[in-house]
Amino acid sequence: MDELELSSANGDLDRLQELLGSEATNYLLAPSTLRRLLKSAISAKHAHVVEFLLDQNPSYRWWEDHEYNIVRNALSAGVNIFRALMARKPDIINWHLGFGQGTTVTAAVKDNNIELLLFLLANGAKAGEPDEPPGPPLLRAVQLDREDCVGILIPHCPLECRVEALKYAVANSRSLRMIQLLVEAGTDVNYVLDPFSFYSLSMDTLDESAFHVAIRVRDEDSVRLFLEHGADWNSCDAKGVPAKAKVLQQGTDSPIFRILSSSVGFLPSAADN
């Protein structure tokens, strides 16, 4: 680590300016040097040094530098660093970070960085689009069990996005609180996604509503919750099979049968179905 890099890593802007001023008049840092110094300053979260370095060579297209992913690393470093980049190139807020990495919002969810997530959403980041793998940020938040992120993202997502996230949460035994957040936001527990919807991402629950998923996996808490929010035992899956038929298949000794029976007074016998 040379003295330039050391000054960047230590946040010593005075020394960095002194070193650069001593080397040449109107000195423009080469992209390779800028990359190295930015890497040190970003890792150490020195926003004032990052801002200075970004202004040293206007021709340096730092957002296209494949040697060091400045945008992704700035997200990991937090709000102040990413804000410095956004001030110079605002559209990075909705960038895709590469196949399988999602968007800036996905990165905030992955890092469980609530401050960054709130900053991105407040400044126009898109949160509800069915992005390339790993899917929309809300689904990613459910997959990673980021309960706080789920609560923040829900108002920014369309119904179909919330339905897919709810189905995943039930099928994969996420916390009841997470499921409650999705249901209490008005997510329709009887809604069956069109199999060709951009949000139909899980083959395991492709033909089902969240209510049907809860019955299949015998999630008693979710079934009770869904009944409180309009679950219909006559609702059908994409193949036309009603929820009541799936309950009957489990047998009258099933706890799901007892829950549904008590909620409607009785259930028909298998012979009546």
Strand, helix or coil at 174?
coil
Q: How far apart are CA 216 and CA 210, in angstroms?
A: 10
pLDDT digits (tens, 9 = 90+) for 116-134: 999 999 999 998 877 667 7
Q: How far apart are CA 135 and CA 160, in angstroms?
A: 13
Q: What is the mean pLDDT of residues 18-41?
A: 79
Residue 271 has pLDDT above 50, yes or no: no
What is the chain's mean pLDDT, rounded? 90
Domain 38-44+62-157 homologous superfamily, CATH: Ankyrin repeat-containing domain (1.25.40.20)
pLDDT digits (tens, 9 = 90+) for 77-92: 999 999 999 999 999 9
Least confident of 23-27, 241-245, 252-256, 265-269: 23-27
pLDDT digits (tens, 9 = 90+) for 226-258: 999 999 999 999 999 999 999 999 988 899 998
Whether 159-265 and 38-44+62-157 are alike in CATH topology: the answer is yes
CATH of domain 159-265: 1.25.40.20
- Identify the residue whose tokens are 């991402």: 201
Whether omega before 134 lies within 30 degrees of 0, making that bond cis, reads yes
pLDDT digits (tens, 9 = 90+) for 192-235: 999 888 888 888 888 999 999 999 999 999 999 999 999 999 99
Confidence (pLDDT) at 25 = 40
Residue extents of the structural domains in the chain: 38-44+62-157, 159-265
Following CA atoms 203, 208, 211, 214 in sequence, which dihedral angle do they give, to the nearest 10 degrees?
-40
The model carries a pTM of 0.88
Strand, helix or coil at 134?
coil
267: left (phi over 0), alpha (psi -120 to 50) or beta: beta
